[in-house]
């Protein structure tokens, strides 16, 4: 059974409950199984040997998630081939593929946690009340160790991009 933690994130000031493991910097990043836009399974192990930035968002079809994913797409173009940026949400793979096409997002890999919430539970960002993912960013080094975590307190706020990019640049 997964732990439940209250008050770490809010939506419009209202506290929400996160379900799942509480990760810390230095932990081995847990693998997970999500679905790619091609409907094939993917997980952290699919990107072994790369520095991984995992951005979890509630839904690409909301303004803040849209801005965040576009921003990470721009950053990805400047970070090189040793870095992969994944955006994971509960959006269906079809919706993610449509959104990427409409937004011109071609560097960030969008993945869906809709089937089993495997990522949300493993990374402690599954919102109990909404069955959506909280806004968070994890940076994982080439050896699969969590090097940076940012859980955004208010879901409607963007993450601190410069802190994320600084953490990534320290690993490449």
Residues recognised as catalytic? 65
Q: How many CA atoms lie within 13 A of 53 on its CB side?
A: 33
Helix (H) or strand (E) holding 87: strand 83-89
CB count, 10 Å around CB of 171? 18
Burial class (CB in 10 A: 0-12, 13-18, 19+), 109: buried
């Amino acid at each position: 059974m997964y732990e439940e933690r209250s008050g770490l994130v809010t939506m419009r000031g209202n506290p929400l409950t996160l379900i799942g493991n509480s990760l810390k910097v230095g932990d081995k990043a847990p693998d997970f199984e999500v679905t790619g836009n091609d409907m094939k399974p993917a997980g952290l192990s699919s990107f072994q040997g790369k520095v991984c930035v995992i951005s979890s968002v509630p839904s690409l079809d909301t303004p803040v998630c849209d801005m965040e994913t576009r921003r990470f797409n721009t950053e990805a173009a400047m970070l090189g081939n040793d870095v992969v940026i994944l955006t994971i949400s509960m959006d269906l793979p079809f919706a993610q593929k449509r959104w990427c096409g409409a937004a011109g997002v071609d560097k960030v890999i969008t993945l869906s946690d809709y089937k089993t919430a495997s990522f949300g539970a493993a990374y402690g960002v599954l919102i109990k009340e909404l069955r959506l993912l909280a806004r968070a960013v994890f940076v994982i080094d080439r050896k699969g160790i969590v090097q940076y975590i940012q859980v955004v307190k208010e879901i409607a706020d963007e993450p601190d991009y410069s802190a994320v990019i600084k953490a990534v640049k320290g690993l490449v």
